Amino acid sequence: MSVNKVILIGRLGADPEIRYTLDGKPIATFRIATNEVIIRNGEKEVLTEWHRIVAFGKLAEFCGEYLSKGIRVYIEGKLRTRKFEDKQGFQRYVTEIVANNLQILEKRLSSELEEKKINFSEEMNSQNLEEDFEDEDIPF
């Protein structure tokens, strides 16, 4: 048995980018920053790590509608590394977190979503978001 699970809490570095497969399925990509404070030589130092997040289907639509730069989010997903060929024909690799659960941690937005009766994370827990997507569907 093996486990591939990632849990992150961080802030978006930019608005999500929404793209569509040839048959119209949405894919959202964005980056979040996580920070770690360490003490080095008696001085506090903040280490920032950037994570590439990808979401599919309804979760991608949710990201495009409700997320923006600076928003703090909780994300659950799995780590995936995939290979692709760049425009010059070189093989490249990208490591990303495929999100399957996302919660907004901003009180203002969380309240707004609660008022609209939107609880996206519970809805998405019962779906396999990648099942309808193939690597060739991803437009980047």
pLDDT at 107: 77
pLDDT at 106: 84
Least Cα distance to 128 among 70, 56, 46 occurs for: 56
The residues spanned by each domain of the chain are 6-128
Neighbours of 61 (CB within 10 A): 15
CA-CA distance, 93 to 104, in Å (whole number)? 29
Strand-pair category, 26-40 with 17-20: antiparallel
Predicted TM-score (pTM) of the model is: 0.76
The CA-atom distances, in angstroms, between 132 and each of 20, 43, 49 are: 13, 49, 30
The topology under which CATH files domain 6-128 is: OB fold (Dihydrolipoamide Acetyltransferase, E2P) (2.40.50)
Sites in the chain below the pLDDT cut of 50? 117, 122-133, 137-140
Q: What is the pLDDT of residues 81-119, one digit of tens each?
A: 999 899 999 999 999 999 999 999 987 765 666 655 455
